[in-house]
Structure 1
Amino acid sequence: MVKKLTTGFWSATARIILRNRILILALVIAFTVFLGLQWKNMRFSSSQANLLPDDHPVNLEYKEFLKQFGEEGNVVVFAIRDSALFSPSNFNRWNKLSKQLGAFPEVDFVLSTDNLQELIKDKENQEFFLRPLIQGKLDTRKEIDSIKNHLFNELPFYDNLIYNKESGTVRTAMYLDKDIVNTSVRKDFILKDMTNLVKNFEEETGLDVRISGMPYVRTMNSQNIIDEIGKFILAALGVTSVIFFFFFRSVRATFISMCVVIVGVMWAFGILGLLQYEITVLTALIPPLIIVIGIPNCIFLINKYQQEVKKHGNQALSLQRVISKIGNATLMTNMTTASGFATFIITDSKLLKEFGVVASINIIGIFLLSLLIIPIVYSFLSLPKSRHLKHLNKRWIDAFANWMERIVRDRRITVYIVSIALLVLSIIGIYQINISGSPIEDMPKKAEFFEDIRFFEQEFDGIMPVEIVIDTKNPKGVLKPANLKRMDRLGTLVDEIPELSKPVSIVNLVKYSKQAFYNGIPKYYQLPTSQENNFIMDVARKSSDNGNLLKSFVDSTGQVARMTTFMRDVKTDRMEEIEERLLENIAKIFPEERFKVYMTGSALLFLKGTKYLVKNLILSLALAIGLIALFMAYLFRSFKMIIISLIPNLLPLLVTAGIMGFIGVPIKPSTILVFSIAFGISVDDTIHFLAKYRQELTASKWKIEKSVYAALRETGVSMFYTSIVLFFGFSVFVISNFGGTVALGSLVSATLLFAMLANLILLPSLLLSLEKSIANKKVLKKPQIDILPKGEDND
């Protein structure tokens, strides 16, 4: 009954489409224009991707930190490592640059040699005051050398903050207005105003300015993503059109297919705008993905049309059969692909959820476009000429089909041995996979801003902020001598870890206060003794009321302090070791019953988010496998067929995971997508093959061997065509500057190639070897719906 309804539905659909061609084209154009108007709502991501759900404990701690101290990643740093900086003209120009930067409303303040303040004791009023380090213009090299010597040797408070004593590197820190850090205003300011000022400085002085800091890195990284969208779209169109033309040798067919996928890309951007989702490193991949996934739809539909024309030459009947016979098969395969992407929707990660929503909607969208546009456009054109049909009789296709048949017939034992060997090797490789939680690992390694990241790691031990928050649970408890000593002990431990920079906290300011109390003698840069403490801290408190010296280190109540350090780009296991070591010492130094201490910061947030995504990967992949299994059960009504159909699709995933382990590609947000995407696409081949196999079984009265080989020949070529398109289509991602995108493209391409071979060789071999247990009417019942109608192939 269901089967008859399905057949009737598609026949009616074909009539509706072909009888209302003008209306449907008008509706497609109108909807495309509507989505085009939504492009104005597209927004490129201005903030670092938060991979954790809003209510995750780590996220809640980070939000609490931001509430108390504001955005921690608001510093852009500039540095020069060149002795020529200390000439009068260059040094004064360097100071002028900091003044120019500080004049912009987007900048909160600038800390540089131009405006460094020296803490001085006022003996008469018994308080500290801040005196500018540089007073007036410096005209001679002697004056600059004096300032340099004083800064490098007598002001340890600024060590690793403004200068690196060993290399002579000097830097300026620009603190952006915290309200614009995660907005597009930040991007405009950095790419235009700031970049122009630095460029002018370099041209005038001949000095090389290194720039970094998370706002700058995020801006440049986002700009790279924007630049790559167009590159990917053009590359995907170019590669798929060349392959399509190679297969069909028809400019007309190629042009029609390109029009279909271009409209699909326009819909993809429109849906992003309509839903008001930000364009991230993941959603930026959707337009080229739509091209790659849409072309196989065009191949199936146009190939079927040309076969029908060759068979009987009746255009109307050919187009009606394209819709009624191929529409259902194409819908089923697109549904399985969409379900692979849709599994990301159930995750708690906003990043993955948005990717899953937009990708699955657009896959169904490209199916509708293919089904509507191709038959309608062909209905207005003349019949294909004989030269356009030659590709249906290519000799190399027969040679390929014969090769597959020989392998399945004569080398089944070899097929099983190779499969088992690959499985064993893959399992070994899987145990070697690492997880990467580095927010900068995927960034383009050859980009200038990435080289600058390495420079700052070398000179100042990193740019990724890590915050340690100490809640003393008592108002004004931070400045108690015992608590300052505890924080100093913790700071010493942080400083001993080579991957972390020297920490900055209220302790540094208190030490500087003592140095100032003793007339700036460097050896007194230390915490006050018990006898000194009361007097020095009274002076410091009195001064802080006037100069707000404490506001960057302590909250308004004096109860909560922050300790800021910066981390190098390290491997995830090392990052976890550092975190574990610090937490162990924190527990010893700050008893849990008296203090609340936690670590936070964007670097740790990204690490936790990546690990969280890995758990979601397992869940989403398991759900995808479950959905496909249910789909197979509905189609074939056989548990054994479900198992057999999953084997050739799971083996390629295991092989890919094994390869990742052996060649050192870690699990990270970008490569997490590989498995669900590849599984959702590769199972299409299985559906095509098994549907044709089931049909051949009923037609040949359950002659197993004949049915397997017939299905292999009929579907093998189409599977080869579409797999080649998908392989080269996903391969365009290897031109990316982002390591994660390169890994995604190459791994999905490799997985789909393995899946094609598994479906063309391993699956038929299993069917032949297990024919007695699966190929009978009791086990392999007829499906509820016909994917492929009796008497029709699906090339």
Structure 2
Amino acid sequence: MSKFLSFGFWNAIARIILRNRVLILALIVGFTVFLGFQWQNMKFSYTEANLLPNDDEINIEYNKFLEKFGEEGSMIVMAVNDSTLFTPEKFIAWNNLANTLEAFEEIEYTLSLGDLQRLQKFEDPARFEMVPLVSIPSPDTLQVQEYRKEIFNRLPFYEGLVYSKKSNTIQTAVYLDKEIVNTEARKDFIVNDLIPLIEEFETVHDINVYTSGMPYIRTLNSQNIIDEIALFIGAALLVTSLIFFFFFRSIRATVISMITVIIGVMWAFGILGLLHFEITVLTAIIPPLIIVIGIPNCIFLINKYQQEIQKHGNQAKSLQRVITKIGNATLMTNLTTALGFATFILTDSNLLSEFGIVASLNIVAIFILSLLIIPIIYSYMSPPREKHLKHLNKRWIEGFVAWMERMVRHRRITIYITSLILLVVSIIGIYTIRISGSLLEDMPQKAAFFKDVIFFEEEFDGVMPLEILIDTKRENGAMKLSNLKRMEELEHLITEQEELSAPLSVVRLVKYAKQAYYNGNPKYFQLPSTQEQNFILPYTRNLSSGENILETYVDSTGQYARMTTFMQDIGTEEMEEIEEELWPKIYKIFPEERYNVTMTGRALIFQKGTNYLVKNLVISLGLAIFLIALFMAWMFRSLRMIFVSLVPNILPLLVTAGLMGYLGVPIKPSTILVFSIAFGISVDDTIHFLAKYRQELKANNWKIKRSVYAALRETGVSMFYTSIVLFFGFSVFMISSFGGTVALGGLVSATLLFAMLSNLLLLPSLLLSLEKNIANKQTLKEPAVNILSEPEEDEDFEEDEKDEFQK
């Protein structure tokens, strides 16, 4: 391996690159075109990310539920809180809107005012029949008001389904075809048909319509993700190019760098298509991430090229040294960054595993592109002029480096005390961090659909379905009166929870049947007695509204009953408290030896998955730290160097974690990524500094202080440049409308800023303070990888390449 990464190897690589420029450019263009064709295979996620492994018990239970009752999140709801709805014109228009929607092939059925039926008892012969509530196609004002009274005062069966008594809100339930709920057809219908129809209704009738439901929320949320990809890429290119130009004051250097990262972005999309991975809220950040990570590669390569030109003016020699010296260093830093992302592959979560695969592959790809494109393009151009090299002697940069040197030389105790204070304060903050499994927390809270979510939470106690599956272990057991009474008791328990809505189940159907038997008197909306059950229960099978509602809540065998409640946007901790309170009472109502009761639903799976994810990511981060520690030990042939290299990189992670606690930013799938991303990137600075320090030790006859200060001056500028680019590059994510992406961008930016200061102040201070035990000749043996070694002889190469460039 060390021979593989030796100067001789990189010298050969330089020869291959510079002598086969046309062929390499042709291969890059060809591969870019190939990956461009893979874009057609890209697909967007149309459901929430399942963070749990497929073989997890909770996933298995959910799949069992789907087998019995199908997709649970197929309902879209439209609500109106306007008294003028109960005027003939608007009443008819509202019903017509539902009828128009029901005519679409994507809709199974609708449940609106015009669809409502009441169960009515008839004599001669004695029977129950379902009759339309709205029996007149064009009712007048008096009839509309009569309908209104009957709905709110005599039909408790429809409470929570069609109306809310809190403020007399009316809603229409639109049930999508379950076959299209998780497909692109759902998006096409909602975006192209549903939303225009609702907007037209609002405009014509001057009524505000609130729209929600999981299919609707997921569609608009996915659309926001798609829209923000272009926004992120454009913003990342703009910010990084402006900063790059500010540092280098060279249009052509900026353009070359932009070309490199744009090709990297094209490859990122192509790899997503090639692997047939879905674009999720995580994989969507990979293209702009490649820009942010790729620009530092360009900075190191171009900065070294210009330094060499300034030193001796020989273009061939400069390009050769860029590849041999910076190529080795950037390979090491890119590998450590890729390693930080690759640890996600080891988690059992498909979401994280796919993110880790694509991110690590693209980080290696952007390194290869940078190493090939920049030297080749510069080889066809004239050497930089004096004005392009002025930035190498900027006084303000020299002032910053001089300040760091003074701090390390004279203020090491201050650095240690400050670090210790930060550590203690951060640990205190860490204890205040909470874990959030909220499905809606990361969604754009300024979006109209999110405001509608809040409305439905207030009116109907939530929009996210929580399913309870009751296995009676006996055929037709769900319709036995004793089990119906147990379900009713469970309903009362659930209703007592403020975060959960009143449940919908077969109990409501049976209560409605008894009410109908007593001529629709709402005081009889209750379960029948033992004497009444024989002639009331059979009529529940006829209770329908376009579809057999009984089949919605009881499976075909009658053994399984379904109870649906809607939960508010609560976090993991709140849900765990609710479960802790409910389960003992549930087992008391439904003894475990006679019944099997499970809770499921996408919202619950997301919350359980968040806990699972946090545990796995902690393990993943620990593994990344362990692997990079081994990598550092191997690279510098010193186990003691693990301590020196890890402390300056772990401290910023702890500071960021403490900051999350103080700012109230919870641990969730988006923010937990901060630590692995930041650690993988920040350790690059450590590698650059220690590699240069090792080189200076050898050049200065193992005089430690002189070597530390020389390494600080040499690497400080590049580390400052790259850290500033990374800081502002990741800050781009803060323009997102997604709370999680905003937190990710802000926290990674802050962490990398802390990491830069830590590597430029704490790391050299540790080397000076521990020189007798760690930073000495005995400890720092000949490294396995001579990252920044100077070539002993490259004159032959240089002469050969002069002719090539002249041709």
TM range, normalised to the smaller chain? over 0.9
Report the CA distance shift for 1:713/1:479 in structure 2 as closer, same or farther (over 3 A).
same
For the residues of structure 2 that align with 1:5 and 1:83, how far apart are their CA atoms? 77
**Structure 1: gaps (5+ residues):** none
Name the counterpart of 1:39: 39
The answer to whether structure 1 residue 109 and structure 2 residue 104 are counterparts is no
> Which amino acid counterpart does residue 36 of structure 2 have in structure 1?
G
Task: Please give the alpha-carbon distance, in whole angstroms, between the structure 2 residues aligned to 1:49 and 1:217.
Answer: 14
Change (3 A) 1:542 1:228: closer
Query: What aligned pairs does 1:43-58 form with structure 2 within 5 A after superposition?
Result: 43-58=43-58
Stretch of structure 1 that moved more, 121-130 or 622-631: 121-130
* Cα distance in 2 between the residues matched to 1:548 and 1:81: 29
Q: Is the 8 A contact 1:128 1:540 kept in 2?
A: no
Aligned 1:759-774 pairs, distance under 5 A = 759-774=759-774
Partner of 1:575: 575
**1:23-79, CA deviations, whole angstroms, 9 ceiling, x for partnerless residues?**
000000000000000101110111111110100000000010011000000000000
Residue 382 of structure 1: SS of its match in structure 2?
coil
Cα distance in 1, alignment partners of residues 543 and 743 from structure 2: 55
Q: What is the aligned partner in structure 2 of residue 360 from structure 1?
A: 360
- Cα distance in 1 for partners of 2:650, 2:235 equals 30
Does structure 1 conserve the Cα–Cα contact (< 8 Å) formed by 2:130 and 2:543? no
Give secondary structure in 1 for the equivalent of 2:479. coil
Give deviations 1:475-510, integer Å, cap 9, x for gaps. Answer: 000111111110000001111111111100000000
- Counterpart for residue 436 of structure 2: 436
Counterpart Cα distance in 2 of 1:695 and 1:751: 28
1:788 corresponds in structure 2 to 788
Q: Distance in 2 between matches of 1:90 and 1:580?
A: 46
1:388 matched to which residue of 2? 388
Cα gap change, 1:315/1:543 in structure 2, threshold over 3 Å: closer, same or farther?
closer
Q: Please give the alpha-carbon distance, in whole angstroms, between the structure 2 residues aligned to 1:184 and 1:120.
A: 42
Paired position in structure 1 for 2:412:
412
Q: Secondary structure at the match of 2:53?
A: coil
Q: What code does the residue aligned with 1:273 have?
A: G
Structure 1 residue 775, shift from structure 2 partner = 2.5
CA distance in 2, matches of 1:33, 1:531: 77
Separation in structure 2 between the aligned mates of residue 140 and residue 485 of structure 1, nearest angstrom: 42
Equivalent in the alignment of 2:465: 465
Stretch of structure 1 that moved more, 724-733 or 496-505: 496-505
What is the correspondence of 1:627-776 to structure 2 with a 5 Å cutoff?
Answer: 627-776=627-776
Deviation at 1:544, TM superposition (A): 8.2
Structure 2 counterpart of 1:129: 129
Offset of 1:202 from its aligned partner? 1.1
Distance 2:123 2:693 in 1: 97
C-alpha displacement of 1:452: 0.2
Q: In structure 2, what is the Cα distance between the partners aligned to 1:549 and 1:296?
A: 61
Q: Does 1:153 align with 2:153?
A: yes
What's the offset of the Cα at 1:547? 7.4
Q: Which residue pairs with 2:200 in the alignment?
A: 200
Match of 2:795 in 1: none
Residue 500 of structure 2 aligns with which residue? 500
Give the TM-score of the pair, scaled to structure 2: 0.97
Misfit runs of 4+, over 3 Å? 1-5, 122-127, 538-549
SS at match of 2:108: strand
Q: Please tell me the residue identity of whatever aligns with 1:411.
A: R
CA contact (8 A) 1:736 1:742 kept: yes
| Counterpart position of 1:141 | 141
2:333–2:687 Cα contact (<8 Å) kept: yes
Q: Is the 8 A contact 1:127 1:543 kept in 2?
A: no
CA separation in 1, counterparts of 2:390 and 2:736?
37
Distance 1:128 1:769 in 2: 91
1:608-666 deviations in Å (ceiling 9; x for gaps): 00000001111110110011011101111112111110000000000000000111000
Amino acid aligned to 2:296: P
CA contact (8 A) 1:340 1:679 kept: yes
Q: 2:338·2:360 contact (CA, 8 Å) conserved in 1?
A: yes
Name the stretch that deviates more: 5-14 or 149-158: 5-14
The letter for the 1-side match of 2:265 is V
State how far apart, in whole Å, the 1-side matches of 2:150 and 2:775 are: 89
Distance 1:405 1:606 in 2: 49
- The match for 1:618 is 618
Letter in 2 for 1:573: E
User: After the TM superposition, which residues 418-567 of structure 1 pair with which residues of structure 2 at under 5 Å, given as runs?
Assistant: 418-541=418-541, 548-567=548-567
Distance 2:270 2:546 in 1: 54
Are the aligned partners of 2:116 and 2:545 in contact in 1 as well (CA < 8 Å)?
A: no
CA contact 1:462–1:501 (8 Å) conserved in 2: yes
Deviation at 1:139, TM superposition (A): 3.5
Aligned partners of 2:621 and 2:675 also within 8 Å: yes
Question: Helix, strand or coil for the counterpart of 2:640?
Answer: helix
Aligned match of 2:165: 165
Question: Following the alignment from structure 2 to structure 1, what is the Cα–Cα distance between the partners of residues 510 and 81?
Answer: 30
The superposition leaves residues 558-612 of structure 1 with CA deviations (integer Å, 9 ceiling, x where unpaired) of 0000000001112322111112222121111000000000101111100000000
**Matched AA of 2:592:** E
Q: Match of 1:712, as an amino acid? A: L
Provide the TM-score with structure 1 as the length reference.
0.98
AA paired with 1:16?
A: I
CA change 1:722–1:542 in 2 (3 A) is: closer
**1:121 shift after superposition:** 2.1
| Distance in 1 between residues matched to 2:644 and 2:316, nearest whole Å | 39
2:288 alignment counterpart:
288
The answer to whether the 8 Å contact 1:119/1:128 transfers is yes
2:234 aligns with 234
CA gap of 1:343–1:2, structure 2 versus 1, over 3 A, is closer
Label 1:4 to 1:430 Cα distance change in 2 as closer, same or farther (>3 A): closer
Q: Is the contact made by 1:127 and 1:542 (CA closer than 8 Å) also made in structure 2?
A: no
Displacement after TM superposition at 1:127 (Å): 3.7
How far did 1:231 drift?
A: 0.4
* Equivalence for 2:225: 225
Provide the rounded CA distance (Å) in 2 between the counterparts of 1:321 and 1:339. 26
- What is the CA distance between 1:462 and its match in structure 2? 0.5
1:782/1:476 CA distance change after superposition, 3 Å: same
Greater CA drift, 769-778 or 356-365: 769-778
How far 1:179 sits from its partner (Å)? 0.3
Taking every aligned residue pair, what percent have the same amino acid on both sides? 67
Is the CA contact 2:338–2:364 (under 8 Å) kept in the aligned structure 1? yes
Other structure's SS at 1:138 match: coil
1:16 paired with 2:16, answer: yes
**1:84 aligned onto 2:84:** yes
Change (3 A) 1:5 1:85: closer
Contact in 2 for aligned 1:494/1:500 (Cα 8 Å)? yes
